[in-house]
Amino acid sequence: ASVPTMSSSTSSDSSLPQAIIQTPIANIHHFLSIKLNTSNYLIWRSQFLALLRGYDLLSYVDGTATPPPMQFDDGSSNPAYILWHKQDQLLLSWLLSSLTESVHAQVVGLESSHAVWQYLSSAFSSQSQARIMQLRLSLHSLKKGADSMSSYLLKAKSISDEQC
């Protein structure tokens, strides 16, 4: 399997990451093994955030990387915008490819990685909070019983990891 590489790009806007992803979309499944469905948002989000942070691209989905102007004052195309838009569309493609069909159907028509990320955050945040409370209750009420210590600790770690 090939590992994504990044190449430098130049931009007049220092708030934009100075790299653009150059990996075939077919390879993304090596990094995003879990597709988002209606019950695994927290786990899906943690794997996607790790990828975004690893490539310094979180600012695209969280909205802090604002696009440069599309054109210069003279009407000519701004190369920095073209690069920003290309990067955003690659991220959008990554996001969409990591969704199950039923979740993907909910974001059809959203045209930026930020718009999709915000929608998913909003749509799944209440479910996530309820799930966290359920997991905390499960962890609080977990009893060792006849289980071996390693089995008991494995159950506790599994519950704890689901909260991430």
Global confidence as pTM: 0.67
User: How does the average pLDDT of the chain come out, rounded?
Assistant: 82
Query: Is the pLDDT at 2 greater than 50, yes or no?
Result: no
Beta strands in 46-160 (DSSP E): none
**Cα separation, 116 vs 114, whole angstroms:** 6
Query: Is the pLDDT at 109 greater than 80, yes or no?
Result: yes
**Cα separation, 41 vs 48, whole angstroms:** 10
Cα torsion 68, 16, 33, 50: sign: negative
Residue (of 60, 46, 61) closest to 18 by Cα position: 60
Lowest-pLDDT range, 8-17, 51-60, 130-139, 150-159?
8-17
Indicate the residue type of 79. P
CA angle 159, 163, 164 (to 5 degrees): 125
Query: Is the pLDDT at 12 greater than 60, yes or no?
Result: no
Lowest-pLDDT range, 28-32, 56-60, 95-99, 147-151?
28-32
- pLDDT at position 153: 86
Highest mean pLDDT among 44-53, 125-134, 145-154: 44-53
Q: In the numeric block, which tokens belong to residue 92?
A: 């959008």
